[in-house]
Structures are given as structure tokens and as C-alpha cells.
Amino acid sequence: MQYEEMQVPGGVPVKSWTQGVPVDEKARQQLRSTAMLPFVHRWVAAMPDVHLGIGATVGSVVPTRGAIIPAAVGVDIGCGMVAACTDLTADDLPDHLAGVRSAIEKAVPHGRTPTRRGRGSWVDRGSWHDLPEHNGRVWREQLQAGFAQVCASHPAIAKSNNAHHLGTLGTGNHFIEVCLDEVNRVWIMLHSGSRGVGNKIGSHFIALAQRDMADQLGALPNKDLAYFEEGSAHFDDYVHAVGWAQDFARLNRELMLRATIIAMTKELGAFRADLVAVNCHHNYVAKEHHFGADVWVTRKGAVRAGLGELGIIPGSMGARSYIVRGKGNADSFCSCSHGAGRVMSRTEARKRFTVADQVAQTAGVECRKDADVIDEIPAAYKPIEAVMAAQSDLVDVVHTLHQVVCVKG
């Protein structure tokens, strides 16, 4: 038994795969609060990258019967990873990779910097000004009808950056990387989610859940854990909207992967790539069957790791990442971590480290090395090797990757 079990008076236990990795006491308290909800099924599972989050603990797996907590899913709905292996090797890459990084940065909108575009109009460089033809076709054929259904019941969601964020990266810890595996094959890997429209959907339904519960109870014991019960006014609408946002996130990653491959082909010449080798969410909710019951499983910073299923566990900038195969561990509700997990806030990282520290910790990686990315410095995260050791009964490592190019928002 590799997990530690924490008893929660008045609630279900918390099983934590955290041996050998630090866990903040505030995160433990947040896990206890979630475990006290009356509809949690069996227990809450905490992954080794667990840390304090907004709404629910990042790195937690929350199975529920008859209810969903929108804030546990959060506003980065469907955030996750995609990775593809190419037939390139390290020998096919140039000695200097600035050109490869620049080509990717030009091909995929990233960051968020509004810039003036004549006559007082503004455009966000992290959004498409003119949606590419292929992306527009994906929107029209796979997303537009579902979005119209969401907006029919909740018109406020229409006022979001939706189609023009399809195929864009975002900010924060979202990234695109070129990596090498254990035999020097080149991989492309990226991290992003449902962007502005997912944020709008998440924020809208979190507020609705808080309002509905306040109407029922008069006062909320914990507004971050406001929930919709099955059969309530907004439950079905939320399930539909969150499912749509998860589809948006999956397609968003596929489109960025496609754009990255095209950009690298122009820089390096033609190569072959598995267009989608692995594409997995790590912020989402899904209906699953565990311990004899159909339940809603919310993975907040966790990846499904069913028996034989492939997943991606990235490290930080300058650290290893892993392609893994799930062991189907029932106690974890078939889950594993979604990354290394932060050990300090972004604010603390900016106070503690300098650009010189960032340069030293990302040596050998072609990436931004400036004050605006210090909050993503490797030292702000748990050691990925310890995180992997703590979950050896959840996944097997299939490939070990290290990045040579990293594009950050």
C-alpha cells in the first residue's frame, strides 16, 4: 500500500500518494473540507503533486454521487496535454534552436498582450485576429452547434472569446515544447485547455451554483464547494456546457499540435509525426463506474490512468516529463498526477528568484529567460523524480522526455 490515509471526522477518508513529497497544511485542510461533503463516494484521492487551489485542491480526485461541484472542475475546463512522437532524432535538429522556437511562436498565438490596431481598436496577440481557414472549419463542423445550445439557455456565455481562441496557447503554465526521449527521438508536447470560453463557462456556473445554494440554505458554509444536485435547475445545463468545453480543449490542443508540426516542417524539412499520440485532460469531470456505482469523477489536476491507458505527466521548465501507462489502480479511482505540482505561489517565486536563477535552471533549453517567466522557474515546483516515485503503483513510465525548446505564454 503506497498511499497514506487521513481520517476526516464527519466525512470520508482522504487517500494520498504523497510519500517523499511535501504537502502544504493548507492543502490538507482543503482536502478535509471536500471530504466532508455528504455525496462524496468512498473517499477523496490526492495525487503526489497536490497543492492548494482555488475552489478545490489541485491534484485531487473527487468522486461524487448525484452532484457536481463546478468550482472543483474550475475555470480552466479541459486543461490537459497532447504529445506526438516524430521520426526526427536529435541529429536532425540544428545546433541553435532559436529559429525553431521563433517558428512555433509565430505559428501559435500565445500570451496575452492587447495591442492597438488602428483607429482605437485593440487585438490580443494571444488570440486570432483572423481565424485560420482550417480552424474555422473545425469550429463550424464540430463546435458551433453545441455552443449555440449552451448559449440558448445561458446567453451571457456568448460574450466570450470563443472561436478566436481555438488553436491558441494562453498564459501561465501553458507551453509548447520540443523534447527528446531516452533514445533521442524528437517529440512535440503541449499544455493548454479551453481558453477564454472555458473560463467564461466555469465562472458563470460557479456563480450560479453559489447563488442557487444561497437561495436554498440562506448562507453557504463554503462557497467554493457550492454544487448542483442531479435534477436541479442547472445540473443538466452544466453537464452539457462542461462537456462542450472539454471538447473545445481537446480540439484546441490538436490544432496547436498541427500548427506546430507545419511550422517545424518549414524550418527543418518534411518529417513524419503521429498527429495525436496522447491527448488527455487533467481538469475535467466525467461519468465513470467505481466500486459498484456510477459516479461523477472530478479530476482537478489529475489524469485518468486506467489499465493500459496512456497519459502525460510533465515536469517544469528544465525538468523531465513522462509518457506513462496507467495501472488501473482502483484506490486512486484510476488516476495519476498531472505534473510536478507547485511548492510555492507565483508571487513567492517572483520574490525569491532572479532572472539569473531562471537562466541557470533552464540551461540547455531554448526558451524565454526574463522576469515575466520567473514564476515558472523549476524551483517553484516539486521535484518531478520524487513525484514519480510516489505514484509507482499508479503508472508505468513508457518514455522519459527532456525539453530542448519551450514556448511560454
Q: List residues with catalytic annotation.
A: 338
CB 305 within 8 A of CB 395: yes
Classify strands 185-192 and 175-180 as parallel, antiparallel or unpaired.
Answer: antiparallel
Residue type, 390: A
Question: Roughly what angle, to the nearest 10 degrees, separates helices 235-268 and 144-153?
Answer: 150
Classify strands 321-326 and 310-313 as parallel, antiparallel or unpaired.
Answer: antiparallel
> Which residues, at least 6 apart from 175, have a Cβ–Cβ distance to it below 8 Å?
169, 190, 191, 317, 406, 407, 408, 409
Q: Which cell numbers in the block locate residue 46? A: 490526492
Our CA angle for 372, 377, 379, nearest 5°, is: 150
Sign of the CA dihedral 345, 346, 350, 351? negative
SS3 47: strand
Our CA angle for 258, 122, 367, nearest 5°, is: 45
The residue among 50, 70, 68, 75 whose CA lies nearest residue 60 is: 50
Q: Which cell numbers in the block locate residue 255? A: 490544432
How many residues comprise the chain?
Answer: 409
First to last CA, the chain: 40
Q: What is the DSSP annotation of 10-30?
A: TS--EEE--TTS---HHHHHH
